[in-house]
A and B are shown apart, each in its own frame.
Chain A
Amino acid sequence: MVLLPDEGEDMWHTYNIMMEGDCLRATTIRKVQQESATGSSTSSRIRTTITIRVEAITFDTGACMLRVKGRNVEENQYIKMGAYHTVDLEPNRKFTLFKEQWDSVTIERVDNACDPAKHADLAAVVMQEGLAFVCLITSAMTVDRAKIDVNIPKKGKADDTQRKKAVAKFFDQVMAAIIRHLNFEVVKAVLIASPGFVKDQFFEYMMRNAVQTDIKLLLENKSKFVLVHSSSGFRHSLREVLEDPAVTAKLADTKAAGETKALQQFMTMLGTDPDRAYYGIKHVERANDSLAIETLLVSDSLFRSKDLDERQRYVRLVDSVKGNGGDVKIFSSLHVSGEQLDQMTGVAAILRFPMPEIEEEDHALDSDEE
């Protein structure tokens, strides 16, 4: 399959599609040493097309780069068979991926990635006094761009100039991070979330400063800023922000919002009717055997498993749920909600009807062990 990634997010998709043992053909630059007739050697960098059998894949979230290491399987004039090479996949450069078997999950993933309608970039600044995260949210990824941590003295001193100074310094840093890391041409909205009044204070400060120092970038995009409430300035409160109805309306059907919603549903279900919400592969599979699954939540990190059997197990599960008319949501492990799902074994399910017997069975097993 020939793929052309045109943005950082596609790299993430590629990372999820590619498996060890696949073959990859891409252009790359390789340093080649040539020995002339006289014995002097020259080394030159040559752009060439190479086909490798993938042995290791690493994904750099910061730069959205994919590094693929493997052995050459197709000899050419520069590179011998079996020589190791590491390909950096770059945006806007075609590559070809060969797989022995394309399963349904990967195919769907490719379809998803190719669908431009689902793209909506969003930036979020989660902050509390002295702490701020600047994150970029795309449909499949949440990437931290900056973390700002400043010590702000508490109130109660005779003069609060120190405190004011520290707050101003903190706001300046957040502002600088916004200007540096956000591309306003792509970003559709910037969420500023904080408990209390920090967000209002910051927004006021930023706009006042932008007027004073004439930062056009901010002034022109003033309408893109949305102030949202969050309970803390930690990264995981981003989930809370995305649950906010005001934000959900704005995000409409982006993947991030959908995931958050599904996870929230699962949590509420666990609270109200615990017999209809299960997590952990064993429990979920058992529920699936009785065709009980209404919504299946799976983290994509499970499909990256190196163990082929394990991967197949999850693929089978997904296929079977789909076959039974269930809804499958594959979470991106780069999102906050996906992170959370990963924490709870990576797979969870909301059932159509309560199945208390699952837990009882489990109980029986437990007592057997004892």
Chain B
Amino acid sequence: MSRHRDVRKLDYDEEYDDAYDEEVYGHSVDDGDYGVSPGMEQYLYSRSRDNTHGFGLYFPTGEDIKEEDSYDNSNYKPESLERIRHDSSNYVKPSLSPEDEVRLASVLDELRNILGDKYTETELTQTVLTHEFELDASLNALLNKSSSPVIAQSLPQREKRVRTRDKPLIASGVKELSITQQTNKNDKDNLAQSSKVPSFTASGARSQPRTPVVVTTPAKNGSTLRVVRGFDIQEADESTTSENNLGNHEQDSKRSRSSTPVRGWKDKEKDKDKETPIATKTPARIRDKAVDVMSEYKEQRGSGKNLINLVVVGHVDAGKSTLMGHLLYLQGNVGQRTMHKYEQESKKVGKQSFMYAWVLDDTEEERSRGITVDIAQRMFESDTKIITLLDAPGHRDFIPNMITGAARADVAILVVDASTGEFEAGFESGGQTREHALLIRSLGVSQLVVSINKLDSVEWREDRFKEIKHSLRQFLKTVGFKDADVVYIPCSGLTGENLVKPSTEEKLLSWYTGPTLLQAIDQLKVPERSISRPVRMCVSDVYKGQGSNMCVSGRLDTGYIQQNDRLLLLPQGDVLNVKGVQADNSSTATAFAGDHVTLTVSGVDPSVLHIGDFLCDPTHPIPIVSRVQARIVVFNIKVPLIKGAQVDFHYQAVTEPAKIRKLVSQLHKTNGQIVKNKPRALVKNTAAVIELAFTRPLCLELFRDYKELGRFMLRTGGTTIAAGLVTQILE
């Protein structure tokens, strides 16, 4: 090296400066005795340290999540039935009356929300008891007790915190302090330092599911460095109230926000602001600025057309793809030239009748076999609506795909083949007409357009139409569709009769005066969207986008997403950034509940993204469960369901093997009363409460919390055996 150095002309000052910088730099990382390597003593787990180390702490779905949910409506109500389950604590509580017990528990939970895991349960309990369940009093007591060592930033105190579950966080927290100390010395270094910190945290964040993003900003005056972890607190708090629209729970929700743990930095904040601990504990907010979502929604969507998700189902070869392909063509969503190309190509392989289906069936496999395999998704507009069309496969082998599609839909079109013998084939027990109708109803679709297709093949005979309508109506009633919510439309997908424009076919006109298919779609009611709720989005597709970023797409079930939001990916527990929001191949600023969106995301390894994962609000994570209790309705099955049966569990885009762990009780089909406890087997057409166990943790929501997300289907051996609602999360 020295050979290349012009020693004589060396600017010694600068050279020393550099050296000095380096030294300081080095210090900042491993100054003092803070351990850097994971083998250091303070990182090692010791059973004896305290009893807050429940096993559950190591699962990303800490109890906090659930408590948080229940907080919104049960805070400060000692008598309310909160689900209080503490992480394994072997501390024996003093004997209390049941009422006091509940009060204690609720105060304890609250304290833990505010303080994190820093105090042991014993400490907390004692403090609460001495202050007679007064939250504020005990909080002050605890804070006063601990504030002096915190201010002194004594080493032992630090080490203690390192042992809690936020290990990586605290490690970086230590560094923040060194930054602060250092600022006086060397302002110049601030930038380098602060950029260093986030990267360090990012590496630590892998093991910590709810790790917030760290932002360190060098302050202007240089003497005090403002370290903001998560996002700006005041702003966030405002946004909490304005956007969350939780009505009378506002006050509670403010508090409950805190329950996502960001514990590492808390004592530091506390020094500055001992009076208002609530304000200090805002974790990773989804975004920095408050958004008045309702007004935004009205502005963007209020005047325009309503969005509706429509799934097309029916027996294989009923003509679903052709019908929809033709509709898209007539609506001008498919170019003349493309259509011509399809026509030529399909002619070449001798399948001209499939030309419209090719609009939706675009893979080689599907075209060569003439069968839809997976959901195709298109958008088109009618007079009053923007419609997201989901074309489902009809073949029984692809029902799992159909379920993922139907789970994303609000309304449905049931296509039946009217030609002689075909309707019967699809409608009898082996056909999919029944199963599909049952499935969509169980998945929450209540409005249905029945398209009686291929009527041209029976010369538009009215009696055929009536015959089919009659048998369908009876069946649909038993499935649970109301007569008023079902419309029957005669049409032909191939000739395009009665799709968009009223028919010109005289044979049809002679007896039919009702709406066309498009008009019928137009008349469907748009369901209520839960825009103001926390974000939930099930990933239904993952692929590489342009550039290095990954794209995930799916239906935004609740909430809204904007560009630059930070979302939590579960069950992996990574935080990712939304780089762009796309709907129907064009970017938009905001996506609302009910939209089908494609998000360009960054900040996450491509390999951790899977179909079936959930994206959610970091402050309101979705529960991760491995055992649930559910209420199911058993369909027409040959082999009864017994304990231990292995089933395929279909939930949103997820298909997972599951086991029936217990048959809890059999219910009366209509009034829901328990008929029998612990039944030996569940025969066909019964209702029951069962317990399901999964092989790996899944993200699930309770039906009563999220109507959109609580439904699932059970299948085995290629048949759908039951539909159900998640009623309770057990693990």
Contacts and interface: CB of A to CB of B under 8 A. Distances in A.
Contacts of B376: 155-156
B643 A271 contact: no
A77 interface: no
Interface string A323-347: 0000000000000000110111100
Nearest to B646: A236
B290 interface: no
Interface string A155-168: 11100101100000
Nearest to B716: A231
Interface stretch (B135-143, B269-277, B367-375, B507-515): B367-375
Contacts of A342: 644
A338 to B, nearest CB: 12
B646 A151 contact: no
Nearest to B644: A343
A366 interface: yes
Contacts of A359: 680
B397 A343 contact: no
Interface stretch (A137-145, A178-186, A195-203): A195-203
Given A196-B395, A235-B657, A274-B683, A156 B377 contact: yes
Nearest to B680: A359
B638 A156 contact: no
Interface string B526-544: 0000000000000011111
B323 interface: no
B677 A366 contact: yes
B339 interface: no
B645 interface: yes
Interface in A122-171: 130, 151, 153-157, 160, 162-163
B643 A234 contact: no
B24 interface: no
Interface residues of B, number: 46
A342 B373 CA distance: 36
Given A235-B657, A236-B646, A271-B683, A151 B611 contact: yes
A229 to B, nearest CB: 8
B642 A151 contact: no
B678 interface: yes
B476 to A, nearest CB: 26
A154 B639 contact: no
Contacts of B373: 155, 196-197
A268 B638 contact: yes
B724 interface: no
B86 interface: no
A120 interface: no
B425 interface: no
B134 interface: no
B407 to A, nearest CB: 14
A51 interface: no
A316 B659 CA distance: 30
B36 interface: no
A257 to B, nearest CB: 17
Contact of B642 (A229, A236, A237, A344): A344
A250 to B, nearest CB: 20
A240 interface: yes
B551 to A, nearest CB: 9
Given A196-B397, A236-B657, A343-B644, A231 B542 contact: no
Interface in B374-391: 374-377
B167 interface: no
A279 interface: yes
Interface in B121-173: none
B42 interface: no
B640 A154 contact: no
A315 interface: no
B397 A270 contact: no
Contacts of B540: 154
B398 interface: yes
Contacts of A339: 646
A2 to B, nearest CB: 39
B680 A343 contact: no
Nearest to B393: A196
B600 to A, nearest CB: 14
Nearest to B678: A366
B351 to A, nearest CB: 17
A232 interface: yes
B579 interface: no
B375 A268 contact: no
B362 A196 contact: no
B674 to A, nearest CB: 11
A32 interface: no
Interface in B570-602: none
B363 A163 contact: yes
B655 interface: yes
Contact of B715 (A130, A231, A279): A231
Interface string A45-70: 00000000000000000000000000
A270 B677 contact: no
Interface in A212-241: 229, 231-232, 234-237, 240
B503 to A, nearest CB: 31
30 contacts: A154-B540, A154-B611, A155-B373, A155-B376, A157-B543, A160-B363, A195-B397, A195-B400, A196-B397, A197-B369, A197-B373, A231-B397, A231-B718, A231-B719, A232-B648, A232-B715, A236-B646, A267-B640, A268-B639, A270-B639, A270-B640, A270-B642, A274-B640, A274-B680, A274-B681, A340-B646, A343-B643, A343-B645, A343-B659, A366-B677
The 9 A-B residue pairs with the shortest CB-CB distance in the complex, in nearest-first order: A343-B644, A231-B718, A153-B543, A195-B397, A344-B644, A236-B646, A196-B397, A267-B639, A154-B541
